[in-house]
A and B are shown apart, each in its own frame.
Chain A
Amino acid sequence: MAVKIEHLSLKRGNRLLIKDLSVSLEKSESLLLTGPNGVGKTTLIRSIAGFIQPEAGSITLNLAPDSTKTASDQAELIHYIGHKNGIRTSLTVLENLEFWCEFYGSDQPLNPVIKSHNLSSLIHIPAGYLSAGQKRRLSLAKLALIKKPLWLLDEPTVSLDELSAKLVADAANQHLNAGGILIAATHIPLAIPFTRTIELKNLGRDQFKTTEWEELI
């Protein structure tokens, strides 16, 4: 089981954000992405998730315990928690959780997950009425509910209180101990012993492709 990134370059619009990045992760390894806003953390995570095509280089995922799964099946083995929480606000908390279980085919019991994420008193409330932190907790409950080997977390603890942030760190540590792989981008320190840290840097102005507008100035 491994994630292999080789000579990866990523672009958003005309801007080159990531240039010639190589890193590889084996099972139980974790990677922390840091760096200032707009440096490409989200872009990198979204490209590993398969939403953004690389400009150059490659991302190879080999997540299945057996090698029978094809490349297109790898997507099924990824947990991606991005800026959007991915919950339908007009469904209740319970309906959201039940849908995930049915959709992803998980037979995990719901109750322990609801309890551990402090959602017990909220289950019959439409998710739209939850606070930002509560929505985040609901979103993160998916990690516990459905077992997948690769976690991609983009600012997972944003708007969470200290206690809930600790809960995320505990869950991540458990995931790593069980042989999972974790890639996270965050500004807020997380109590996770990351095996590797990449500090992304602004590539500077020479990396920008000058647009006609800039040539005019």
Chain B
Amino acid sequence: MNAFLALLKRDIRLSLKEGGTIGIALGFNLIVVTILPLGIGPDQNLLNQIAPGVLWVTLLLSLLLSLDRLFLTDHEEGTLEQMFHGPLPLELVVVAKALAHWLTVGVPLSLMTPALGLLMNLSTEQFGILTLAALIGTPALSFLGAIGAALTLGLKRGGLLLPLLILPFFIPTLIFGVSTTTGYLFPAGNYDSALALLAAISLSSIVLAPFPTAWALRFNMN
């Protein structure tokens, strides 16, 4: 457990120190949501209608931008090799690193939602529920993304392949995330089921994704 916490602490410290990952993800999210209304025009009703979908899609893409760094630097600098001979099973190394990614990228991105909602004329009563949905849904993105990050580790310019591999797996989170506010799948205002499904996707990703990720890491050490 100490080793797990040590790794979690180190990864959080690294991403705050290096700064690039969080900065790019937050900056990208902000800039896309800022220029979208300029392209669409000042139709406030239209903006309000598409706001949840736009916010979720930009969140997915921003998070995706930061995923390729998840194991890359540790792989290049040889620290990942060193972790093979540590007390922690590789699966738990993956959990610690993906959890650190969620805390440093997923959480800040989710907390940005209200500010971006203002730009998209999102109704104020939806701010809370959309932020909550993002917080519950983003762990799945970090953990599923870890599979892709590990698979593309040995490739030059693997960062470009990563979105193609991983975005399809983000679709369930996107659908249920958006349906917390739109009422397409469930009666409007009844967002409990959508939140429960988001939580189910996140929890099962946390449990299942570390195994294929660790397998891919072992394979790439060869």
* Chain A interface residues (CB < 8 Å from chain B): 49-53, 75-76, 78-80, 82-91, 95, 99-100, 102-105, 142, 148
Contact = CB atoms under 8 A, between A and B. Distances in A.
Interface residues of B, number: 27
A76 B10 contact: no
Given A90-B18, A99-B10, A52 B79 contact: no
Given A52-B222, A84-B78, A103 B85 contact: no
A54 to B, nearest CB: 12
A105 B2 contact: yes
Contacts of A49: 84-85
B125 interface: no
Given A51-B221, A84-B78, A90 B86 contact: no
B3 A86 contact: no
A50 B84 contact: yes
A120 B79 CA distance: 22
Q: Per DSSP, are chain B's interface residues mostly helix, strand or loop, or mixed?
A: helix
A91 B221 contact: no
Contacts of B83: 103
B14 A87 contact: no
Contacts of A51: 81, 84, 221-222
B7 A103 contact: yes
Given A51-B221, A82-B81, A88 B87 contact: no
Interface string B2-40: 110111011001100110000000000000000000000
Interface in B101-126: none
A24 to B, nearest CB: 21
Interface string B69-84: 0000110111101111
Given A76-B87, A90-B17, A90-B18, 15 more contacts: A51-B222, A53-B222, A79-B85, A82-B78, A82-B81, A84-B78, A86-B79, A89-B77, A99-B6, A102-B5, A103-B3, A103-B6, A103-B87, A104-B87, A105-B2
